Structure 1
Amino acid sequence: MTTTPLVPDAAALRDGADVLSLAPVIPVVVVDSVEQAVPLARALVRGGIPVIEITLRSEAGLGAIEAVASQVEGMVVGAGTVVTPAQVQQVKDAGAQFLVTPGSPPRLLEAALASGLPLLAGAGTLTEMLTLAEAGLEAMKFFPAEASGGRPYLSAVAGPCPQLRFCPTGGITSETAAAWLALPNVGCVGGSWLTPKDAVAQGDWGRIEALAAEAAALRPA
């Protein structure tokens, strides 16, 4: 079933660069049940974060994408941990408005580009980044960020590739996010700290709203 998202026209996305501009932090979310997804997403919107990456790391992921896309006004919903060409079509049909992949093998990259959805493809090395640039992508995901050399590595990338911009994800915390955002080639960061597992399990949407508000106010260090 194809879902019609409720996101306003002003939030229409052309490419990955538009995704980077939505908020300082993209929440990377794993939900254990579809029922958690809508109140969680609404809490993020109330806190000033109008974007969410719902990963396919749980069986509830696909249904959660569909629920948020069809029920949460003002939220741009992306699909994360997309690892196969088949998943690309599944999340598009569910209403995902952008794709996030942890890596960029040829068949997955081809399917993601063919979908027409904005894409943040994962890259952890300069060769992978240049491969994505050859495919026409100038915005991408730096993953796993801390394990792939952290801020010093991504800062060095800006020398030979000043046109590339990134959403670093993996190991970033509320304490380190501002330092990442200070890098000239970083548009936003991805993080899971906005939606702690215990808060989601307990339905503590007020806590998630407060964490979203703190993230929305982040400025480069």
Structure 2
Amino acid sequence: MADMNKRIRNIGIVPVIKLDSADQAKPLAQALIAGGLPIAEVTFRTSAGEESIRIMRAEFPTMLVGAGTITNVESAGKAIAAGAQFVVSPGYSEDVVSFCQAKGIPVYPGVNNPSQIQQALNQGLEVVKFFPAEASGGIDMLDALSAPFPTLKFMPTGGIGMHNLGSYIRKPYIIACGGSWMVKAELITQGKWDEISRLSREAVNAVHGFSFAHLGVSEDSVGTCMAASTEFGHLLQPVSEGNSSVFASDFIEITKSTSRGTKGHIGIRTWDIERALAYLAGFGYQPVNETIKRDTKGVMTVVYLDKEIGGFAIHLIRSK
């Protein structure tokens, strides 16, 4: 269960899919993978769900394939037999949770109130689906629920799209968001696989929230740093001095000693550094462990990547 939670968290989005024909399963899976989303929650809202899961698991063994809209033990059994690696329910069913746990299959039942959350904790769950997210109070309700249940994580689904994804995914108690905006029924019916890939890439970028933070100028001494900061100050204010560097506005950092990067460094903000590192590992980037900084809760706040881009070291910073 913990491994599945981590894998889902590293991706950050769970596409919720309704297929009218199992023939759509393979090209849809290909489109999602091409867009950077190697995961699918195939709902049991149609008769094609079971066979679609079987096809995806056989054709794309590295893809995470789960079953959604599982409302009873019989459906859970069929989904697991077809190869579902996780099970998602719209509501809370102790029977479904117990059945999946006995089978060793991660299960994410739907909750939207404290009583259901208490049930989930009593059954040993660490992650639950929050559904329907927007209709149940959205991020304000999740903020309220996370306070008395600090160990529980959520996977909100329902009413989430590009317009509000960032407000959800940045919260530390959310492991991923479920949604269907990148796999709309009309796109699947019309076979617009390239568009699904494009929307998936757009969603992946939004999950990470990458944005420019600052440009780092490397000086080799306090004297040259202060001289450069004075000159930058003619253009950019305020100038503020720290222990190891001086900032001219929020966008230029001048270091007091030689720092990383042949030409300097570029600071990039992201919602979640751990998730960003998992994503960037697919492009050959690794963290420089000795540069990692964490807050009092152990959450990573700063890290450098091991490879330069255009002569600049890349410095990830957790967005606040």
Same fold (TM > 0.5): yes
Task: Specify the code of the residue in structure 2 equivalent to 1:99.
Answer: V
CA distance in 2, matches of 1:191, 1:171: 8
Describe the shift of the 1:56–1:19 C-alpha distance in structure 2 as closer, same or farther (beyond 3 A): farther
Residue number in structure 1 paired with 2:84: 96
Offset of residue 88 of structure 1: 1.3
Describe the shift of the 1:93–1:22 C-alpha distance in structure 2 as closer, same or farther (beyond 3 A): farther
**1:78 aligned to which of 56, 60, 66:** 66
Residue number in structure 2 paired with 1:186: 174
CA contact (8 A) 2:71 2:93 kept: no
What is the TM-score of this pair, normalised by structure 2?
Answer: 0.63
**2:75 aligned to which of 83, 87, 106:** 87
1:26 paired to 2:14? yes
The number of aligned residues is: 209
1:1-221 paired onto structure 2 within 5 Å: 14=2, 17-217=5-205, 218-219=207-208, 220=271
CA distance in 2, matches of 1:144, 1:115: 27
What is the TM-score of this pair, normalised by structure 1?
Answer: 0.90
CA distance in 1, matches of 2:45, 2:185: 14
Describe the shift of the 1:98–1:159 C-alpha distance in structure 2 as closer, same or farther (beyond 3 A): same
Residue number in structure 2 paired with 1:6: none
CA distance in 1, matches of 2:85, 2:4: 11
Offset of residue 158 of structure 1: 1.7
Identity of aligned residues (%): 36
Give the strand-richer structure, 1 or 2.
2
Task: Specify the code of the residue in structure 2 equivalent to 1:204.
Answer: K
CA contact (8 A) 1:82 1:99 kept: yes
Offset of residue 16 of structure 1: 5.2
Secondary structure of 2:32's partner?
helix
Secondary structure of 1:193's partner?
coil
Offset of residue 73 of structure 1: 4.2
CA distance in 1, matches of 2:61, 2:80: 18
CA distance in 2, matches of 1:15, 1:119: 13
CA contact (8 A) 1:24 1:189 kept: yes
Residue number in structure 1 paired with 2:290: none
CA contact (8 A) 1:54 1:78 kept: yes
Describe the shift of the 1:98–1:77 C-alpha distance in structure 2 as closer, same or farther (beyond 3 A): same
CA contact (8 A) 1:145 1:172 kept: yes
Task: Specify the code of the residue in structure 2 equivalent to 1:65.
Answer: I
Residue number in structure 1 paired with 2:263: none
CA contact (8 A) 1:22 1:50 kept: no
Task: Specify the code of the residue in structure 2 equivalent to 1:68.
Answer: M
CA contact (8 A) 2:97 2:107 kept: no
CA distance in 1, matches of 2:98, 2:18: 26
Q: What residue ranges of structure 1 are gaps of 5+ in the alignment?
A: 1-12
